[in-house]
């Protein structure tokens, strides 16, 4: 069986966790601070606040930017649900703009249309989906023109770049997830990066019950603190991230070169985007996806369908009156299949994936 994801935990991670356990300082502490400093430096942001997950990082970023009740946040209908749930946790209202069919990323033209329809939109929450940066030339021009706050969901795009600039550093805040299937992991964990010191200060208060001085609570906050155990894993994983991404890119290049089946469309990459292939997502010819995924299963190839439904049509939002028709998303969600490219695979295993795909009729 060739799996769709496999966290890469080695001797360094095990040793680092053992050292934390032996130290007795297993909750939030100095190791997390070291991880935060190293992550900020790596991404090229002034500040990092480590959190319990990518989801809590997104909620904290929105709240730290002052987004709340009465505010509208424009986002993509094609993502993991957390990117929209975070807007709802913050008390704000999500609105959606359709995606580009080639990249699966929010379409700048659709953003412009949404802003023309509703000039009260205050913020833009974009998702660098599957490891590819959104078109940041277009998006930054829109953000400037309409004076929007910009939050980047980088949960699938650690160290992805646009024009050589790392994602997470374009907007007011960037949010990362360190869930085990992501490009790097801390078990569960997340981070907010920002260059804005007031946003950093507010985020730090939010994750620690509004506390600067012990048992003096300035605001109503949360316990979203990362543990030293997670931080220790994160420090090791961050060192290995360039190799992980290099391996994902090499595997993607093999699939690009070797998949020749006309029923399968390989992903389109934009020259200015440095893709980190959190997922390698192909499109299957109309009405053939079920046959294709059965063929993969029959041949021991793992896969994922990210995502089978658009966010606004999810059952949990049925009473919210969201507009639920997004023509591009509604087509793409029926055609996508993500294939194994993770760093735990050998090149031969990736070639096997391509061969099995080429045998599909
Ligand atoms: C994984 C993910 C999240 C949430 O991260 P968690 O750590 O699982 O809470 C948010 N947005 C996107 C696009 C993700 O892929």
> Model confidence at 35, in pLDDT bands (50, 70, 90)?
very high
> Positive or negative, the Cα torsion across 20, 26, 27, 29?
negative
Share of the chain above pLDDT 70, in %: 100
C-alpha span between 111 and 98 (Å, rounded): 8
Task: Specify the pLDDT at position 263.
Answer: 98
Q: Give me ligand 1 centre to Cα 157, in Å.
A: 11
User: Ligand 1 center to residue 54 CA distance, Å?
Assistant: 5
Residue 225, pLDDT score: 98
Cβ of 127 closer than 6 Å to ligand 1, yes or no, is: yes
Task: Determine how β-strand 280-284 pairs with β-strand 264-265.
Answer: antiparallel
Nearest residue by C-alpha to atom 14 in ligand 1: 155
Q: pLDDT tens digits, residue range 225-245?
A: 999 999 999 999 999 999 999
Ligand 1 in contact with 59 (CB < 6 A)?
A: no
Q: Over 207-270, what HEC string results?
A: HECCECCCCCECCCCCECCCCHHHHHHHHHHHHHHHHHHHHHHHHHHHHHHHCCCCCEECCCCC
Question: What is the DSSP track for 146-160?
Answer: HT-EEEEE-TT-TT-
pLDDT digits over 315-347, tens only?
999 999 999 999 999 999 999 999 999 999 999
pLDDT for 358 equals 98
Residues 252-272: tens digit of each pLDDT = 999 999 999 999 999 999 999
Query: What token pair was written down for 350?
Result: 């990736």
pLDDT at residue 64, rounded to an integer: 98
Q: What pLDDT shows up at residue 97? A: 98
Q: Is the CB of 281 under 6 A from ligand 1?
A: no
131 lines ligand 1 (CB under 6 A): no
Distances from the Cα of 81 to the Cαs of 55, 97, 180, 207, 312, in angstroms? 9, 15, 17, 21, 9
In the structure encoding, which two tokens stand for residue 29, read together? 């502490």
Could you give the CA distance from residue 164 to residue 176 in angstroms, rounded to a whole number? Answer: 19
Residue 353's pLDDT is what? Answer: 98
**What whole-number distance in Å separates Cα of residue 65 and Cα of residue 195?**
12
Give the model's pLDDT for residue 122.
98
pLDDT digit string, tens, across residues 117-176: 999 999 999 999 999 999 999 999 999 999 999 999 999 999 999 999 999 999 999 999
CA of 177 to the centre of ligand 1 (A): 6
Q: Using omega within 30 degrees of 0 as the cis cutoff, is the peptide bond preceding 320 cis? A: no
- SS3 (DSSP) at 274: strand
Q: What local confidence, expressed as pLDDT, does residue 201 receive?
A: 98
Joined together, the tokens standing for residue 304 give 């994922």
Q: What is the mean pLDDT of the chain?
A: 98
Q: Are 10 and 237 in contact (CB under 8 A)?
A: no
pLDDT tens digits for 64-121? Answer: 999 999 999 999 999 999 999 999 999 999 999 999 999 999 999 999 999 999 999 9
**Which residue, among 350, 160, 349, has the nearest Cα to 269 in the 3D structure?**
160
Looking at the chain, the number of H-run helices and the number of E-run strands are 11, 13
Distance from Cα 2 to the centre of ligand 1, integer Å? 23
Q: Which residues contact 22 (CB under 8 A, 6 or more apart)?
A: none
How far CA 13 is from CA of 16, 45, 180, in Å, comes to 5, 25, 13
């Amino acid at each position: 069986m060739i799996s769709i994801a496999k966290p890469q935990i080695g001797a360094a991670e095990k040793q680092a966790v053992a050292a934390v356990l032996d130290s007795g300082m297993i909750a939030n502490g100095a190791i997390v601070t070291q991880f935060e400093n190293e992550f900020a430096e790596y991404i090229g942001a002034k500040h990092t606040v480590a959190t319990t997950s990518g989801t809590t990082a997104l909620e904290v970023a929105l709240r730290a930017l002052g987004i709340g009740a009465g505010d509208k946040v424009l986002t993509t209908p094609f993502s993991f649900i957390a990117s929209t749930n975070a807007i709802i946790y913050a008390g704000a209202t999500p609105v959606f703009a359709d995606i580009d069919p080639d990249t699966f990323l929010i379409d700048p033209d659709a953003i412009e249309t949404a802003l023309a329809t509703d000039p009260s939109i205050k913020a833009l929450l974009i998702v660098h989906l599957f490891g590819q940066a959104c078109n940041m030339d277009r998006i930054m021009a829109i953000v400037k023109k309409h004076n929007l706050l910009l939050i980047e969901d980088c949960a699938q795009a650690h160290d992805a770049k646009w024009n050589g600039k790392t994602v997470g550093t374009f907007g007011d805040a960037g949010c990362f997830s360190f869930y085990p299937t992501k490009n790097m992991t801390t078990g569960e964990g997340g981070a907010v990066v920002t260059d804005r010191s007031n946003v950093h200060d507010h985020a730090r208060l939010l994750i620690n019950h509004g506390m600067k001085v012990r048992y003096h609570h300035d605001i109503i906050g949360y316990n979203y603190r990362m543990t030293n155990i997670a931080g220790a894993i994160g420090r090791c994983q961050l060192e290995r991230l360039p190799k992980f991404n290099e391996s994902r890119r090499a595997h993607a290049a093999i699939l690009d070169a070797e998949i020749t089946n006309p029923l399968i469309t390989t992903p389109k990459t934009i020259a200015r985007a440095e893709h980190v292939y959190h997922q390698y997502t192909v499109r299957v010819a109309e009405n053939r996806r079920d046959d294709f995924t059965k063929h993969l299963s029959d041949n021991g190839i793992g896969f994922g369908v990210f995502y089978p439904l658009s966010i606004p049509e999810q059952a949990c939002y049925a009473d919210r009156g969201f507009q639920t028709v997004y023509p591009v998303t509604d087509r793409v969600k029926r055609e996508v299949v993500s294939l194994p490219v993770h760093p735990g695979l050998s090149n031969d295993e990736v070639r096997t994936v391509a061969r099995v795909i080429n045998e599909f009729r």
